[in-house]
Amino acid sequence: MATVIKNVLIVYAHQDSLSFNAALKNAAVKTLESQGYKVTVIDLYAQHFEPRATRSDITGELSDAKKFSYMQEVGTAFKEDRLSHDIKIEMEKLKEADLVIFQFPLYWFSMPAILKGWVDRVFANGFAFNYAKAQIYDTGLMSGKKAMLSLTTGGPETLYTNKGLNGDMNIILWPMQYGILRFVGFDVLKAQVSYAPAMAADTKRKSMLDNWTTRLKDIAKEKPLEFIPIENFDY
């Protein structure tokens, strides 16, 4: 069954409100709100989000006081409602979202650490997936929701082809689109890649913003990327 999108969550990772990432985020807020969606923005740097996965993420006693396993302790703490307050707040936002947009500049062929830390800590064992109950990929706990990456690069598009210096952008996106978004069950919409805004002429930047706005107007109708269904694998 197709998700009806009502609430959109934008997880935004840029330091500066005059950046091109900020412009893309602002364009998304404006366009989506004018379409009647409720939009929530998580401004990671502004809220000084904690990226480190540590003992402090669990309040109260550990289930194993001798050896600290982050995955296991978080699983138990989630069940017993003992995760730290800052993680619980982010989980509430995620629960309400029908579509999640990650807006970030590509850092080292991946997400900036502050955003990676949001994933590491918020997509917790028991909340976003449950390996023991086989709730991963198609049956991940975010299934029914949609998600997508919207990223900018320093390098131009020609470098990100299968014959280009940096290699195919699809390979760079794979760990994030499959290993993160699909793993927890999201239907993944095609990534929006805005290449090299800093090198572009102002007209080109305007057209990248327009492309994004135009796409978002019909986002509810988009078909997600296709992945091989989990029942085709032995595991």
> Which residues bind to ligand FAD, rule: CB under 6 A?
14, 18-21, 23, 53, 69-71, 105-109, 120, 152-155, 179, 197-198, 202, 205-206, 209
Residues contacting 119, CB < 8 A, separation 6+ = 111, 180
| Structure-block tokens of residue 93 | 């936002």
Binding residues for its own copies, total number by CB under 8 A: 54
Which of 109, 173, 135, 145 lies closest to 2 in space, CA to CA?
Answer: 145
d(CA 62, CA 93): 26
- Within 67-126, which residues bind its own copies (CB under 8 A)? 67-71, 107-114, 116-117, 119-120, 123
54 close to 102: Cβ distance less than 8 angstroms:
no
Site string for Zn ion, 49-88 (x = CB under 5 A): ------------------------------------x---
Q: Which option in ligand FAD, Zn ion, its own copies, none does residue 185 bind, with CB closer than 5 to 8 A by kind?
A: none
Q: Is the torsion defined by CA of 71, 95, 91, 214 positive or negative?
A: positive
Closer of 21 and 98 to ligand FAD (Cβ):
21
- Within 4-33, which residues bind Zn ion (CB under 5 A)? none
Residue with tokens 């990929």: 137
140 close to 180: Cβ distance less than 8 angstroms:
no
- Within 28-57, which residues bind its own copies (CB under 8 A)? 45, 48-49, 51-55
- Within 83-142, which residues bind Zn ion (CB under 5 A)? 85
As beta bridge partners, residue 42 has 11
Closer of 4 and 165 to its own copies (Cβ):
165
* Residues forming the site for Zn ion (CB under 5 A): 85
